[in-house]
């Protein structure tokens, strides 16, 4: 039996070891948690910026509607005894096209002169937005809406008379619930509060009208109060709550001011993945420490027990100890190698997006080289012929050859210009772009592949210009990717027909580009835009499944939509919908 002092010392050593292991594991957990919060915060900031931009953009069109329509001749004529019927009809058409709940034109005393419908906000003359409009500025407010509209934004644009004085205002009412339908549930919990801290816009209906009444307290519409535990983690704010089952128990809180609409955007993103990752890393460290501690403890015990034995047993214990030390070194080396491999994997994943575009440029460069080689050979031949004709005294024939050389040089310049435009990095904001010219430039870049594969291209330029908001280089990249994918999809088909059309939707203010092929169609339409998803066979010549994902992000960045589906009668149909550039844009 062990003596009491020795037993106490061993127990103390075990307790100290366990405490040290727990402290180290806790430190690892804390560090890993803070590191894991960084990508969570970055993703949350991106989602919050997306939601904020979407709300501001959606409200911007109503703001512009109010400002631009306030000086409409139909409304101006009302001050000189004009027909209200004409003005009502005009406001009704405008409200239907923009999606406004109501459009009301009032005079300087707040009397209604024209309206799009019977849904008229109450007490316009006493409202703050009307008072601001009467000062010559744009009035903006939010609150309960008229009729069945529970929440609304109000824009009041002043109308000026010939003397420069304000003689009326156009009030546009926007249904917030209708705007929320487009992005409800598509992001983490996000809400927008006014100056009083009350939630007025959100993608989680149960958060409506909640109000922050203190640093750690929230008040529901019925007056009930819920406490929130606020924690500071490495410069981030984490909320811990149990007042809503649809909000994460622990969530990273991000905030962004939106002075354009006098609101503050708040996003709550779940930190459970970061906690799980930190817990896993801490558990691995603790398990490793306990494992090595147990091994060392067993070695110590065995060495103490064998101390009284003969020298042969001591040699065996020493050999065992050396083996354990070598195992420890090997394990540490393996851990270091795994960490290096993880870092290399992250770098490779970050470079895949750029590699996708370089791969596309590589494919096109081979075709362009062939396209340039033919004109160069023709130029050489025409030059030799021209010299021969000059020697023979036939200048008119030589001039004809020189004209052909000029045409060939012009063709080469056009090809090189298209290639340079496609390869150029473009980061400018959206501008007015002719979509038909983009399509024709993409078809010219891919002309060699089209001829080589025997693809029949059915392209018809629209009757009127299709001017959209976007970037010429990035839109060219999207069209080239869609056409290239269609050509690849029809490789094994007897009939290879590519149909490209442009349609105008004036009511929605959009332009649609459709690309349809006669291939086998899309096996999984819901996954077609996922990164690294590809239906092509894996080989050195195929893509990495990033083309459609990159194209989707480009179109979304221009405020448009890109979708893919199976067409009736077979084949795949991709539709790119972009905002139509107005004359005043």
Please give the torsion angle defined by the CA atoms of residues 125, 129, 133 and 135, in that order, rounded to the nearest 10 degrees.
Answer: 90
CA distance 329 to 370: 57
Position 182 scores a pLDDT of 66
Position 515 scores a pLDDT of 94
Position 178 scores a pLDDT of 77
Pairing mode, strands 510-516 and 467-470 = unpaired
* Separation of CA 572 from chain center: 24
321 CB-near residues (< 8 Å, 6+ apart) = 299, 303
Q: What are the distances in angstroms from CA 262 to CA 48, 78, 255?
A: 16, 33, 14
* pLDDT tens over the chain, length 585 residues: 556 676 777 777 778 878 888 888 788 776 777 777 778 778 878 887 887 788 788 888 888 888 888 888 888 888 887 788 888 888 889 888 888 888 899 998 888 888 888 878 878 888 888 888 889 898 888 888 787 777 888 999 999 988 888 999 999 998 888 777 766 666 688 878 888 778 878 877 777 777 777 777 777 777 777 777 777 777 778 877 776 777 777 878 888 888 878 888 888 887 778 777 778 887 888 888 888 878 887 887 777 767 667 677 788 888 888 888 888 888 888 888 888 877 775 565 445 544 554 555 565 565 556 556 656 766 776 677 778 778 888 888 778 778 878 766 766 766 666 555 555 545 556 788 989 988 988 888 788 788 888 899 999 999 888 899 888 878 888 898 899 888 988 888 888 999 999 999 989 899 999 999 998 888 888 888 776 666 665 443 445 556 777 788 888 888 899 998 998 888 899 999 999 987 644
* Separation of CA 433 from chain center: 21
409 CB-near residues (< 8 Å, 6+ apart) = 375, 379
Position 538 scores a pLDDT of 43
Helix (H, G, I), strand (E, B) or coil at 166: strand
Position 576 scores a pLDDT of 92
Backbone φ and ψ for 233, nearest 5 degrees, come out as: -125, 100
CA angle centred on 564, ends 509 and 577, rounded to 5°? 15
The alpha helices in 392-426, defined as continuous H runs, are 395-423
Helix (H, G, I), strand (E, B) or coil at 424: coil
């Amino acid at each position: 039996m062990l003596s009491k002092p020795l037993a106490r010392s061993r127990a103390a050593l075990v307790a100290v070891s366990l405490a040290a292991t727990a402290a180290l594991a806790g430190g690892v957990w804390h560090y890993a948690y803070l590191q894991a919060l960084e990508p969570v915060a970055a993703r949350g900031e991106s989602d919050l910026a997306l939601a904020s931009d979407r709300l501001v953009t959606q409200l911007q069109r109503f703001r512009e509607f109010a400002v631009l329509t306030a000086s409409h001749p139909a409304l101006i004529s009302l001050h000189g005894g004009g027909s209200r019927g004409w003005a009502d009809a005009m406001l009704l058409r405008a409200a239907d096209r923009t999606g406004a709940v109501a459009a009301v034109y009032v005079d300087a005393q707040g009397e209604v002169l024209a309206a799009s419908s019977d849904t008229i906000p109450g007490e316009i003359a006493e409202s703050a937005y009307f008072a601001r409009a009467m000062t010559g500025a744009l009035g903006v407010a939010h609150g309960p809406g008229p009729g069945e509209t529970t929440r609304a934004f109000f824009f009041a644009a002043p109308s000026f008379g010939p003397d420069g004085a304000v003689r009326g205002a156009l009030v546009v009412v926007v249904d917030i619930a209708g705007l929320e339908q487009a992005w409800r549930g598509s992001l983490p919990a996000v809400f927008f509060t006014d100056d009083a801290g009350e939630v007025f816009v959100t993608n989680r209906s149960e958060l409506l009208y909640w109000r922050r009444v203190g640093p750690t307290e929230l008040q529901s519409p019925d007056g009930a109060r819920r406490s929130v535990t606020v924690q500071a983690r490495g410069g981030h704010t984490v909320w811990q709550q149990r007042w809503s089952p649809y909000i994460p128990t622990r969530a990273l809180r991000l905030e962004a001011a939106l002075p354009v609409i006098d609101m503050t955007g708040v996003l709550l993103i779940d930190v459970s993945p970061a906690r799980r990752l930190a817990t896993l890393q801490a558990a691995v460290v603790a398990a490793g420490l306990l494992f090595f501690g147990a091994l060392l403890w067993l070695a110590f015990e065995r060495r103490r027990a064998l101390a009284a034995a003969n020298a042969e047993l001591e040699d065996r214990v020493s050999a065992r100890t050396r083996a354990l030390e070598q195992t420890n070194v090997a394990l540490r080396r393996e851990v270091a190698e795994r960490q290096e491999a993880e870092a290399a994997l992250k770098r490779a994943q970050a470079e895949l997006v750029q590699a996708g575009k370089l791969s596309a440029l590589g494919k096109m460069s081979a075709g362009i080289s062939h396209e340039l080689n033919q004109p160069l050979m023709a130029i050489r031949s025409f030059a030799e012929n021209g010299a021969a004709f000059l020697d023979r005294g036939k200048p008119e024939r030589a001039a004809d050859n020189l004209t052909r050389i000029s045409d060939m040089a012009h063709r080469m310049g056009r090809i090189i210009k298209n290639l340079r435009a496609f390869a150029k990095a473009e980061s400018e904001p959206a501008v007015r772009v002719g979509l038909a010219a983009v399509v024709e430039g993409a078809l010219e870049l891919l002309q060699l592949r089209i001829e080589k594969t025997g693809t029949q291209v059915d392209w018809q330029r629209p009757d009127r210009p299709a001017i959209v908001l976007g970037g010429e280089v990035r839109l060219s990249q999207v069209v080239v990717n869609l056409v290239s994918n269609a050509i690849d999809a029809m490789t094994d088909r007897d009939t290879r027909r590519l149909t490209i059309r442009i349609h105008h939707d004036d009511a929605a203010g959009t332009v649609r580009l459709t690309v349809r092929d006669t291939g086998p169609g899309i096996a999984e339409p819901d996954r077609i835009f996922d990164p690294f998803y590809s239906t092509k066979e894996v080989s050195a010549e195929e893509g990495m499944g990033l083309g459609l994902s990159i194209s989707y992000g480009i179109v979304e960045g221009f405020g448009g939509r890109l979708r893919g589906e199976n067409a009736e009668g077979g084949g795949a149909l991709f539709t790119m919908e972009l905002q139509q550039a107005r004359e005043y844009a």
